């Protein structure tokens, strides 16, 4: 019995060891597999972050380039005009003056005194990113001196841009007495409005109205409603002219009816005379 029990115990011990070994191997294998999957996801995330960082760097280089940045502002302005106005209500690269070769990026076609020649409202996009970025960085550092200096440079830059637009593109009566300077960033637009007296100075001295994306959308929408009202007014005048022509025709028709009535009375009298003679 002791020998038999010892054999049974050895067999049970062997079975338990095998079970423990297999369980341990399976658990360790599963744990290593999960760890490998997590590491693979981490590597993939790092790769995506690297690609994103590269894209951000490319965007920063694009915005750092003045010419490319200006093109980006033009594209955004063109998209807004295309979404709100009809193709015949604005134009690109418009020569606002007969003298010189200056052409504004976009201009809204307004009805002029001469119907054959429209009046243009110039719209030009400006993006002084360096000065605005310097102002943001100074604000993050809470550096009062740097904030004041960056704000002063931004004001000078915006005033210079407004002066260029005014001298190059305003030419009444071919154009309106004012132009719109489009700032393609809402933060930049808010900062320009926040500067004391800057917006009033631009309107008073240079006849320039500043507009951000949302503000320009509202301005263009109001112009669109005005164009629709003008079209309705023109159609109304056409309807009144048509009604006047109809009234004239009805007067002529009444004259013709009077003549027909006289002829009918004359024919009736002739018939009575013929009947009496018969």
Contacts 24+ apart (CB under 8 A), 88-97: 89/223, 89/224, 89/227, 91/120, 94/120, 94/122, 96/120, 96/122, 96/169, 96/170, 96/171, 96/174, 96/175, 97/169, 97/171, 97/174
Q: Tens-digit pLDDT profile for the chain (278 aa)?
A: 788 777 777 777 777 777 777 776 777 777 777 877 877 777 777 667 666 656 555 545 444 454 444 466 788 888 888 888 888 888 888 887 766 667 888 888 887 666 667 888 888 888 777 778 888 888 888 888 888 888 888 888 888 888 888 888 888 878 888 888 998 888 888 888 888 888 888 888 888 988 888 888 888 888 777 777 766 666 666 666 777 777 777 777 777 777 777 777 777 787 888 878 87
- CA-CA distance, 1 to 116, in Å (whole number)? 123
Q: pTM of the full predicted structure?
A: 0.57
Would you state the structure tokens that stand for residue 273, as one six-digit string?
Answer: 């005379």
Provide the pLDDT for residue 74: 80
Provide the pLDDT for residue 62: 44
């Amino acid at each position: 019995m002791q020998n038999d029990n010892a054999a049974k115990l050895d067999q049970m011990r062997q079975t338990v060891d095998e079970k423990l070994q297999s369980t341990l191997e399976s658990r360790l294998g599963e744990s290593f597999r999960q760890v490998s999957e997590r590491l693979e996801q981490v590597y993939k995330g790092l790769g995506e972050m690297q690609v994103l960082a590269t894209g951000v760097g490319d965007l920063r280089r694009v915005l750092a380039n003045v010419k490319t940045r200006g093109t980006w502002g033009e594209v955004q302005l063109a998209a807004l005009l295309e979404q709100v106005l009809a193709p015949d209500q604005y134009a690109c690269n418009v020569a606002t003056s007969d003298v010189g070769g200056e052409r504004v990026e976009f201009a809204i076609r307004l009805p002029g005194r001469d119907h054959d020649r429209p009046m243009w409202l110039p719209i030009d996009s400006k993006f002084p990113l360096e000065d605005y970025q310097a102002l943001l960085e100074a604000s993050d550092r809470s550096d009062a001196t740097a904030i004041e200096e960056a704000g002063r440079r931004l004001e000078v830059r915006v005033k210079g841009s407004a002066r260029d637009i005014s001298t190059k593109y305003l030419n009444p009566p071919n154009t309106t007495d004012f132009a719109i300077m489009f700032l393609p960033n809402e933060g930049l637009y808010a900062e320009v409005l926040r500067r004391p007296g800057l917006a009033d100075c631009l309107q008073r001295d240079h006849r320039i109205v500043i507009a951000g994306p949302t503000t320009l959308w509202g301005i263009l929408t109001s112009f669109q409603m005005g164009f629709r009202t003008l079209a309705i007014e023109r159609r109304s005048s056409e309807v009144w002219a048509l009604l006047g022509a109809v009234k004239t025709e009805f007067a002529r028709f009444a004259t013709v009816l009077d003549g027909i009535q006289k002829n009918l009375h004359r024919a009736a009298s002739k018939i009575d005379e013929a009947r009496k003679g018969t």
